[in-house]
Structure formats: structure tokens, C-alpha cells
Structure 1
Amino acid sequence: MESLFSGMIILLLVSFSCFTSSEALTSNKGNITIKWDLMHWTPDGYEAVVTAYNNQKQRSIPSPGWKMSWRWAQKEVIWSMVGAKTIEQGDCSMYKGNIPKSCVRKPTVIDMRPETPYNQHIANCCKGGVLKAGSASSFQITVGPAGTSNSTVRMAVNFMFTAPKQQYICGPAKNVMRTKFITADGRRTTSALMTWRITCAFHKAT
């Protein structure tokens, strides 16, 4: 009986040691959280604010900055952007007159630089892709043709977040509680129409 009791104590100590080591490792890795907030419906799609949060306590994203990419679920294009840009326009030859900013099925987006004209800024944008620990980076995007209601819109898939000498692995987009926004005077609260969240975990330094 005494031998059995001693064995159980050792097993508990080993289990606790493994748990604390795993917890410390997870805490050290941290993550990047991407929130896709649908703010307005448009005649053929929607306008959204996309924000990347650096939840890591000691790891920053250095210059030349982050890149974010995804694959559209349907045949969406990017009509306009504020605070960021795509690195490729793609083949938009089927459009006449109003030409999209990007017709690429898998667009890659980068942050604008600080010297970008102020009329192309939104809050938390234009840092040249630099994302300090505990900070956020945002851009505005107008998408179409896409769903124009909560039941018809489809979220993009296969998200990737890359940074200089850092690798991240992104999980699937999840429909979460709508983000709430407080007006500048602090007297009114509004909500996004829908909010999706993507979590990208630090994988390794390269």
C-alpha cells in the first residue's frame, strides 16, 4: 500500500511538471489575432475593418513589416482599401469603368507607410507593417460581389500571417460575438454587423 501511495505521488508530481512546462511554452509563443468586422452592407457586398492584434508580450513585428493573405470563398474582389494595399492587382479585364483594386483569388495585403497621405489613413494604420508587442494594426476594405446579409456572406479561408524571420500558423475563421465600438465622445456604443476572428500562433523564428 505504501509503495502504491508513493507511486501515485510521483505520478502527480510528474504530471504537474509537464503541465507547467507546457503552459510556460504556450505563454511564450503568444499569438496574432485578426478580427474582421463587417461595418456596412454595400449594393454588392460589404465594407469591413480588419485589425491584427499582437498579443505577444515580448515579440514585435519589425520592418519591413507584416503581410496578410487569404483565399476568397467565392468570386469576391477588393473594390477599395484604406490604410493598406494589395501587392498585386491581378486580371481585372472583365470589369469596365470602375476597376477593382484587386481581382486576385488569394490577395496579399501589406500596411501603408507613415508618409501615406492623411486622407488614406484610418486609426491604427500606416506603420510600415511594424507591429509592436501589445499593439494593433488596422485597414478598411470594401468587398464585392459578395453576400449582402448575415445569411449570405461568406468568410475568406486559408489565412496566412507572415513577418520578417517569423513563422505563424493561422487557424480557421470563427464567427464570434460582434465587436462593440465607443464613439470619440464616449456617449454612444455601436456594434459591427458581424465579426470573424482568426488566431495565428507563433510557430518558429527563421
Structure 2
Amino acid sequence: MESLFSTMIVLLLVSFSCLISTEALTSNYGNITVKWDLLNWTPDGYVAVVTAYNYQKQRSIPGWKMSWRGTKKEVIWNMLGAKTTGQGGCSMFKGNIPQSCVRKPTVVDLLPGTPFNQQIANCCKSGVLKPGSESAFQLSVGSAGNSVKTARMPANFMFTAPKQQYICGPSKNVRPTRFTTADKRRITAALMTWNITCVFHKAT
């Protein structure tokens, strides 16, 4: 009888320990979802708003960076709410020079206090992305497809932050995002929407 009682106590302690371990592991469950909403076509590409959503329950991002590889020879003509860290070789362009000709650009958020004409909604937080919040920027992409059939999703997407390592899945073509105007009297939709999901891998 005592042996059976001791066995039951051990099982209860093990179960309790497992519950604690599971809670510790699941407390930060969630992901970073990056959404590309293509809003307009241009003569050589498109204008898109890129939004990162922090769906993690407790983990804050102290300063995000994003990078990706273009599947064509895309360039970034200009941006609002963020900037690329390098311009690359743009010698083939005369007059109007793109902000970036890098095949795999890296993008960072702008600082608070950025001039209003360089901002969009939910930008300019020094890359800080608290749980449940979002961060956005706009970019004009050239030398790219300018139709639903020719525009190509970014490849090898990466989301990084200081002392945090993430693994991102492939870009996915999803149902276009719908938008409601400020007066709530009109609903519009993105031309195309691409989603990328990134999950926390480990602290570095």
C-alpha cells in the first residue's frame, strides 16, 4: 500500500513538473507575420505597404531588420517609413537613381521624429515591435512585374533582431487585404497580398 501511495506521489510530481515546463515553453508561442499589400501598379513595377505584426505573447522586438532576395532584377526606387542599409551598384541608371539596387536588400525602421513627409502610419519606432503591435513601411519597386501575372513574391525572406534568431517560411499568395476608408463608407482591396510567417528559433 505504501509502495502504491509513493508511486502515485511521484507520478503527480512528474505531471506537475511537465505542466510547468509546458507553460514555460508555450508562454511565448506566436509568430511574426509579415504582409505585403500591393496597392498600385507603376510603369515598371508596383507600390506596396509591408507590415510586420508581432503575434508573440510576451516577446518584444528591440529593433527589427528585414531582408529578402528579389526573384528578378528588382530595384527599390523609394521608401517611406524605413530605409535600406545599402544602395549597391546603380551605375546603369542615369538621372533618377534608385534608393537600392542590391539584389538582397536589408531594410530597417526609421527613428521617432522622422519628418512627416517620410512617414506612413505605424512606422518610425526604431524597430521596436511590442507584443500585439505592428510596424509598417511603403516601398516602390521597379524592374519588376506590374501585373498579377508578372509580379513575383520575394524569396529567402529573413527577419532578425538583436539577440533573437527567427526562421521564416516561404512567401505565400493569399487573399488580398481589404481596407475601410476613414469615413467607413467605402471598402477597397489590395491588388495582391503576400504573407511570410517567421517563428522564434533561439536567443543568440
TM-score for both structures, normalised by structure 1: 0.86
Q: CA deviation at 1:23?
A: 9.4
What is the CA deviation profile of residues 60-107 of structure 1, one whole-angstrom value per residue up to 9, with x for unaligned ones? 112xx1000000001000001000000000000010001000000000
Residue 55 (1) aligns with residue 68 (2): no
RMSD of Structure 2 on Structure 1 (CA):
2.0
Q: Name the SS for the 1:160 alignment partner.
A: strand
Q: Which residue of 2 aligns with 1:143?
A: 141
Unmatched 5+ residue regions in structure 1? 1-17
Q: Name the SS for the 1:119 alignment partner.
A: helix
Unmatched 5+ residue regions in structure 2? 1-17
Query: Residue 29 of structure 1 contacts residue 203 of structure 1 at CA under 8 Å; is this kept in 2?
Result: no
Query: Residue 37 of structure 1 contacts residue 50 of structure 1 at CA under 8 Å; is this kept in 2?
Result: yes
Q: Which residue of 2 aligns with 1:152?
A: 150
Query: Residue type of the partner of 1:125?
Result: C
Among 180, 186, 189, the residue aligned to 2:187: 189
Identity %: 75
TM-score for both structures, normalised by structure 2: 0.87
Q: Which residue of 2 aligns with 1:28?
A: 28
Q: Which residue of 1 aligns with 2:159?
A: 161
What is the number of equivalent residue pairs in this alignment? 188
Query: Residue type of the partner of 1:200?
Result: C
Q: Which residue of 2 aligns with 1:5?
A: none
Among 71, 77, 80, the residue aligned to 2:78: 80
Q: CA deviation at 1:164?
A: 1.2
What is the CA deviation profile of residues 154-197 of structure 1, one whole-angstrom value per residue up to 9, with x for unaligned ones? 11100000011111000000000110111111111110000000
Structure 1 segments, 4+ long, off by >6 Å, are 21-24
